[in-house]
Structures are given as structure tokens and as C-alpha cells.
Amino acid sequence: MENIKTVVITGGTGSLGKELTRQLLKTDIKRIVIASRDEMKQDEMAKDFNSDRLRFFEADVRDKERLQRAFEGADIIIHAAALKIVPKCEYNPFEAVKTNIIGSQNVIDVAIDKKVKKVMMVSTDKAVQSLNLYGATKACAEKLFIAGNNYASGSGTKLSVTRYGNVVGSRGSVIPFFKKLAATGALPITDARMTRFWITLPNAAAFILRCIDQMRGGEIFIPKIPSMKVIDLAEAVAPNCKKQIVGIRPGEKIHELLLTPEEAARTIDGDFCYIVTPEFSWWTKDQIKGPAVPEGFEYSSGNNSEWLTIEQLKGLIS
């Protein structure tokens, strides 16, 4: 990240925000602003990192005026703030819309006003053909970010998206849930066929930073990552536990998608990721070099060419 002095991370006290901070502190970036709304987590993070290059800024992405202050002097913004627990979003839909959609619009507007160089949104596979409100709000936020480049043409601000699957070790993920239930002797499995994309926290953060370096504005970056069977994950976490099939939950899929056949028509096969290009007149095909993916290509956790074994999952968990 040459000539970058200040990076702002919204939702910076989360698992991803902390890992991004660890990796950014290894660079020569002078100032890393953690913008979030939980003062206790900020205080704990300040003590854990103990770095004079960190700045902690209490800011809710719903508060546009506060973002005007948080983004002052920023070169890069990584937008990771979101309400993401699926049942909570279903029960509190208005709150999910305010944070995930209106909050994203606020980030875009203020970034353009402040002439921030690059803004990267962190998205999810649940945004693809979404069945639940969380996924729907992230799908909408993706659209806002890509179209935001239309508004930013005079400011020089570039906006793009990274989209990936489940993160090993993130808060609220299935691993700590399974570990907690292991003592009962039984783990609930919604469906024996269920699969998910899997990425480690360090790899997710490194992927985001690499994409920021390469982005031109308007792309959706999708990493090439392995799949795993949820029933295999349960076996890796607690091999001596019984597996109880409890049925699929509302808003849940058997397999997740990271790339649809419709998106594949404008997708480039990069060396480390797939790059979905935008459908706007200002985007030219020669902005990114690389072969197109095959016609009708679909990137699903169920048809992936790379799979994690039970032994590999055990290694990741440990």
C-alpha cells in the first residue's frame, strides 16, 4: 500500500477488524482508525495492541455526521460494520436495514465527499440468491457500492466489494457453537448434505488487503477457497459426539453460492480469485487482464473442486 497514510476500518473491533489491524501494523501505514460503536471492545483492543498508530473512534455507520469526522484524512476505508447474525436480523429487520443498507449508503456518501481514494466493502456468500434478510441487505449493499462509482467519478473515489464464505474463528461461527455443545454428547446437524465455503481469518484479511491494492473500482472479488461438509466439521470438533439431524432452518441453504451463472457472463478468472466486473458504460474490458470463466459457470460450495478433509479441519480448528 504505497503512499497510504491512513486506513479506517468500520466495525473494526470485530474478529476481522482485529486481524486486519494486525496485518496493517506490519506495514508502514502511519494511522489506523478503528471506527465502531462499542466502547468496551475499543478499550480492550487498545490494551491488546498497545500501539500509538491506532486511533479509536466511537462511530455508528447509521450516523452520517459522525462518519464525516471519522473519515477525515482517510486514504482507504474498509467497510466491515454489519449486523450479521441471521436470526437476529430476521427478528429485527428494520435494524438490519438501517445498519447494513443505510449505513453502507452513509459510508459511500461520506467517502465520496471526503475524496477517499479507495473504499472496500466486506460481503458474504449469503448475499448471493439470498434466502434471509441478512443476505438480502448485504446484496443491496453490494449494489450500492458498485453503483457508487457512478456518483464518485468526479471525486476520484473508487469503491469495490470482497465476497467470501464462512470464516474459521470468527465470532458467532459454528465452531465455538459445536465446542460448547460437545459436552452434551450430541451435535445438531441441520442436513447431512450441507456444505459451506471456508476461509481462515488471516487469509480473509490478507485477501481484502490484496484486493485493495488491485481494485480499479466496481469489481466484486471472490477468493478461490475450499468447501467443507458441515457433518465433517462436527466430526472434527467432537468425534465422539452423536450427530442429530434436526432439519434445515428458515433462510438456510444446503449449499452456498459465491458466483452465479448470470454473474459468470462478466467474470474474469484471476490467479487467486474470480473478479465480477460491473455492468456500466464507464467500465472497459481491458481494465483487468485475464481469461473469462466458462459460460454457465457456477461457484457453489457443493460443486467446488477443492475440499477440506476431516484431518485438515482438525488442523484449522487447533
Positions annotated as catalytic residues are: 126
The beta-strand segments (E) located in the chain are 6-10, 31-36, 54-58, 76-79, 118-124, 158-164, 166-168, 186-189, 195-200, 220-223, 227-229, 242-245, 257-259, 267-269, 273-276, 299-300
Phi, psi of 96 (to 5 degrees): -65, -40
DSSP for residue 307: B
For residues 198 and 208, give the distance between their C-alpha atoms in angstroms, rounded to a whole number. Answer: 15
Q: Are 141 and 61 in contact (CB under 8 A)?
A: no
Number of Cβ within 10 Å of residue 68's Cβ equals 15
Any idea which residue has 461520506 for its cell? 110
In angstroms, how far is the first alpha carbon of the chain from the final one? 32
For residues 253 and 206, give the distance between their C-alpha atoms in angstroms, rounded to a whole number. Answer: 28
Instruction: Indicate the pairing of strand 195-200 with strand 227-229.
Output: antiparallel
